[in-house]
């Protein structure tokens, strides 16, 4: 079955710096790759997603890139702010839509 690996497990950056989180997936049939942000005690919230027919997608300070050949995708956050501090999860799915999640990255943005 599908397996998603996520790195790093923790990431500390200074406010205003960029943060990059990387994920790899195992099943080449996966075609949908969302990213969720989860604050302590809260529900996972979708922040951006990308489909396999697109190589990059941006939404203000957030961007996701996908390399289908290498089977990896990355989340880029620019101009980080303290409110970006949270746990970020990548996920992958195929047509059945069940999501296979990575193990999460705890991002801390220091003022």
Partner 1 sequence: DTGVSQDPRHKITKRGQNVTFRCDPISEHNRLYWYRQTLGQGPEFLTYFQNEAQLEKSRLLSDRFSAERPKGSFSTLEIQRTEQGDSAMYLCASSFYGTGDERETQYFGPGTRLLVL
List of residues contacting partner 1 (CB under 8 A)? 4, 6, 32, 34, 36, 42-46, 49, 51, 89, 91, 93, 96-104
Minimum Å gap between C-beta 42 and partner 1 is 7
Nearer to partner 1, 26 or 103 (CB): 103
Of the chain, the end-to-end C-alpha distance in Å amounts to 41
C-alpha distances in Å from residue 27, one per residue of 30, 34, 38, 49: 6, 15, 25, 18
Between CA 3 and CA 16 the distance in angstroms is 33
Nearer to partner 1, 40 or 111 (CB): 40
Minimum Å gap between C-beta 111 and partner 1 is 25
Nearer to partner 1, 16 or 55 (CB): 55
Nearer to partner 1, 63 or 100 (CB): 100
C-alpha distances in Å from residue 31, one per residue of 2, 44, 54, 100: 12, 20, 10, 12
Minimum Å gap between C-beta 75 and partner 1 is 14
């Amino acid at each position: 079955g599908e397996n998603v690996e996520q790195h790093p497990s923790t990431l500390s950056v200074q406010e205003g710096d960029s943060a990059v989180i990387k994920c790899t997936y195992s099943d080449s049939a996966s075609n949908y790759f969302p990213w969720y942000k989860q604050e302590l005690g809260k529900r996972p919230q979708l922040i951006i997603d990308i489909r396999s027919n697109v190589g990059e997608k941006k939404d203000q300070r957030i961007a996701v890139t996908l390399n289908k050949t290498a089977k990896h995708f990355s989340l880029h956050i620019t101009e980080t702010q303290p409110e970006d501090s949270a746990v970020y999860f990548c996920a992958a799915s195929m047509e059945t839509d069940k999501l296979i999640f990575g193990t999460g990255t705890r991002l801390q943005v220091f003022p």
